[in-house]
């Protein structure tokens, strides 16, 4: 009897411990996702603040930590270094930073393309031709440099005709205010602030190269394969947020107002930025762009630019060194695919199957 009593007591004492171990073994996995301030990425902040992101994370029994990184390039560097499972970035930066560093990444959401959200601004000059011989402040080796190169091509010039000054996106606005800075390339919301300064003239924008600068949610490919629930939760949260912010009702205006405040501006200014951002409010349109053969052509052009500027790494023998997988085929080395456009989850959203 005493032996039985001891066993019963042990069971009661061990029960909480066993329960704790059991709960820990089924704990929801946590994923860290990086984002930075940009008109097309402000919906992520709203998704978090409104509870939409948590709702979708809970649906798939995971935790998502959305972390704002003030310096855009630094957010991608940290993603590449392994601090984050996912990060928002442009198509070019996805190729030249994580992919060029050997990190296999998948673009699971094509959120928008820049339709004037990136621009070149000159001080006291209203023609792009006047940029020749000037020092140009920009985030070097970023999509801003790509935009500049494309603009110079239109004028029969090249980057040899200007002097590039590497400037952090967090310093780009204040630098333009100084007397010795006469030209800059940047993106919104910094672009809209700079354009409002005295004697500032926008002389070229991404509106002139539509569909080339894509804004993506990028997640490590291994993570997508091992945890498709993360991709499903992010995609579900994104398109629910798109539905809210695209409506011209009180809730939609409230959502856009929150995004404006988080980006350091007011509703009127933010809505002005949205006018130069071709948002894919529906997954069908994003899937259509991803499945279009033009995407492969765009990425081949970006790959060639990146190779010419040494952005694919010292060991890259050609623009085709890195494989870029699209639904219509692979550009580059099919045995070295490091960047992928994966429309699977956007298609699930379009089909109402998330």
Report whether pLDDT(23) > 80: no
Specify whether 104 is located in the same domain as 159.
Answer: no
- Among residues 201, 158, 194, the alpha carbon closest in space to that of 308 is found at 158
Strand partners, 165: 137
Report whether pLDDT(25) > 70: no
pLDDT number for residue 102: 96
Q: What is the pLDDT of residues 170-229, one digit of tens each?
A: 899 999 999 999 999 998 889 999 999 999 999 999 999 999 999 999 999 999 999 999
C-alpha distance from residue 319 to each of 214, 303, 336 (Å): 19, 5, 12
* 244 in Cβ contact with 252 (< 8 Å): yes
Specify whether 186 is located in the same domain as 251.
Answer: no
Q: What is the pLDDT of residues 258-310, one digit of tens each?
A: 999 999 999 999 999 999 999 999 999 999 999 999 999 999 999 999 999 88
Specify whether 202 is located in the same domain as 221.
Answer: no
Structural domain includes residue 16? no
Secondary structure of 222-276 in the HEC alphabet?
HHHHHCHHHHHHHHHHHHHHHHHHCCCCHHHHHHHHHHHHHCCCCHHHHHHHHHC
- Tell me the CA end-to-end span of the chain in Å, nearest whole number: 57
- Among residues 33, 348, 23, 27, the alpha carbon closest in space to that of 217 is found at 33
pLDDT number for residue 24: 46
Q: Which residues does 277 contact at the CB level (< 8 Å), separation at least 6?
A: 39, 40, 112, 113, 114, 115, 116, 117, 188
The rounded distance, in Å, linking the Cα atoms of 313 and 184 is 26
Report whether pLDDT(20) > 70: no
Specify whether 231 is located in the same domain as 167.
Answer: no
Average per-residue pLDDT for the chain: 92
Specify whether 99 is located in the same domain as 125.
Answer: no
Specify whether 336 is located in the same domain as 226.
Answer: yes
Specify whether 100 is located in the same domain as 227.
Answer: yes
Q: What total number of domains does the chain contain?
A: 2
Of 171, 191, 208, the residue that ends a domain is 208
Specify whether 133 is located in the same domain as 268.
Answer: no
Specify whether 259 is located in the same domain as 227.
Answer: yes
Of 156, 184, 208, the residue that ends a domain is 208
pLDDT bucket at 142, cuts 50 / 70 / 90: confident
Of 208, 224, 255, the residue that ends a domain is 208
Structural domain includes residue 61? yes
* 244 in Cβ contact with 27 (< 8 Å): no
pTM attached to this predicted model: 0.85
Cβ–Cβ contacts within 10 Å for residue 23, how many?
9
Specify whether 342 is located in the same domain as 302.
Answer: yes
Structural domain includes residue 145? yes
Specify whether 162 is located in the same domain as 256.
Answer: no
Q: Which domain holds residue 133?
A: 118-208
Q: What is the pLDDT of residues 105-122, one digit of tens each?
A: 999 999 999 999 899 999
pLDDT number for residue 17: 52
Specify whether 342 is located in the same domain as 233.
Answer: yes
């Amino acid at each position: 009897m005493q032996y039985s009593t001891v066993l019963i007591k042990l069971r009661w004492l061990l029960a909480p411990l066993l329960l704790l171990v059991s709960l820990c073994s089924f704990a929801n996995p946590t994923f860290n996702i990086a984002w930075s301030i940009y008109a097309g990425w402000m919906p992520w902040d709203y998704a978090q603040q409104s509870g939409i992101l948590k709702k979708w994370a809970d649906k798939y029994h995971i935790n998502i930590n959305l972390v704002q990184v003030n310096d855009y390039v630094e957010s991608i560097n940290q993603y590449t270094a392994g601090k984050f499972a996912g990060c928002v970035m442009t198509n070019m930066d996805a190729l030249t930073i994580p992919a060029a560093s050997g990190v296999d990444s998948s673009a699971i959401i094509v959120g928008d393309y820049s339709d004037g959200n990136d621009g070149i601004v000159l001080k006291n000059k209203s023609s792009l031709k006047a940029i020749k011989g000037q020092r140009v402040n920009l985030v070097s080796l970023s999509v801003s440099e790509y935009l500049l190169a494309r603009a110079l091509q239109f004028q029969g010039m090249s980057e040899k005709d200007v002097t590039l000054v590497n400037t952090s996106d967090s310093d780009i606005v204040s630098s333009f205010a100084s007397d010795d800075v006469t030209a800059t390339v940047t993106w919104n919301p910094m672009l809209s602030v700079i354009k409002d300064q005295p004697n500032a003239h926008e002389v070229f924008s991404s509106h002139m190269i539509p569909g080339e600068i894509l804004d993506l949610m990028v997640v490590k490919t291994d993570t997508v394969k091992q945890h498709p629930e993360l991709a499903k939760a992010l995609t579900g949260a994104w398109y629910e947020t798109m539905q809210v912010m695209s409506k011209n009702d009180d809730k939609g205006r409230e959502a856009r107002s929150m995004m404006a405040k988080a980006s350091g501006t007011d509703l009127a200014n933010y809505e002005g930025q949205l006018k130069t951002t071709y948002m894919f409010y529906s997954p069908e349109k994003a899937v259509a762009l991803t499945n279009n053969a033009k995407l492969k052509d765009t990425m081949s052009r970006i790959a060639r630019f990146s190779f010419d500027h040494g952005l694919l790494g010292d060991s890259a023998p050609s623009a085709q060194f890195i494989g870029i997988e699209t639904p219509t085929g692979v550009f580059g080395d099919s045995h070295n695919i490091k960047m992928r456009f994966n429309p699977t989850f956007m298609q699930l959203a379009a089909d109402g199957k998330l």
